[in-house]
Amino acid sequence: MKLIYKGKFKGYDQLPIGDLPETAVKFNEPDSIEKVMEKALVFSLLAFIPIVVVFLLSIGLHQRVVLNFDLLGFWIWTLISIPALWVHEVLHAIFFGKNSKVEMYTALSKGALFVICTDPISKARFIFLSLFPNIILGLVSLLVWLVLPFFGLNSTGLFVFAVIMLLGGGGDYMNVYNAAMQMPKGSMQQLSGMHSYWFMPGDIKTAPLTKGADN
């Protein structure tokens, strides 16, 4: 996998356009980063389910009704969460494939970081790569906080870090929902511009390829 950092996102014409079969179907999804972020907020609410469940389990396991708040630990882990957002995107990128070229963009004014690769991947792989960073950085951190009786620096901070990582995955959860609801079994997913498309594997061989349009 070759990861290329493209820097600040300035416009949709920056994004690579993939070669798509004529039969490719564009996902029913928001058509701008601003609209993506708005809808992602709704999907972020799903992250409260594991957060609340693990917090309640923690009360039973460690009898800690409230977090052992430590201001230093809170700020240390909060600051760690900032570079972790870039790590999140790298964890997406590594699952596109060893020979893939992946581009990373920052749109911090819009509250977004994202990677894009125009190689086609399976439905299952797309769902997995969408969830993987949230599982590793968010859910695993939350479970570590649950299992180990941390106090002080680790208690509050690690919990806050896990919450930030899980709540920040709203766009990923939206992608998973769209793939699960719109892609047929056995289909392929491919990015082109800022949109995802799906098609069946046989379409690559039987249909002439055309440049995907971001509309």
Parse the chain into domains and list their residue ranges: 35-200
Question: Average pLDDT in the 119-148 region?
Answer: 94
For strand 112-116 and strand 101-107, is the pairing parallel, antiparallel, or unpaired? antiparallel
Q: In 9-19, which positions are buried (b, 16+ CB within 10 angstroms) versus exposed (e)?
A: beeeeebeebe
At 149-189, the pLDDT tens digits run 665 445 678 888 999 999 999 999 999 999 999 999 999 99
pTM for this prediction: 0.88
At 49-97, the pLDDT tens digits run 999 999 888 888 777 555 556 677 778 888 999 999 999 999 999 999 8
Helix (H, G, I), strand (E, B) or coil at 17: coil
* pLDDT higher than threshold 70 for residue 205: no
What is the reported pLDDT for 6? 95
Question: Average pLDDT in the 8-14 region?
Answer: 93
Q: Which two tokens stand for residue 81?
A: 């969460």
Helix (H, G, I), strand (E, B) or coil at 113: strand
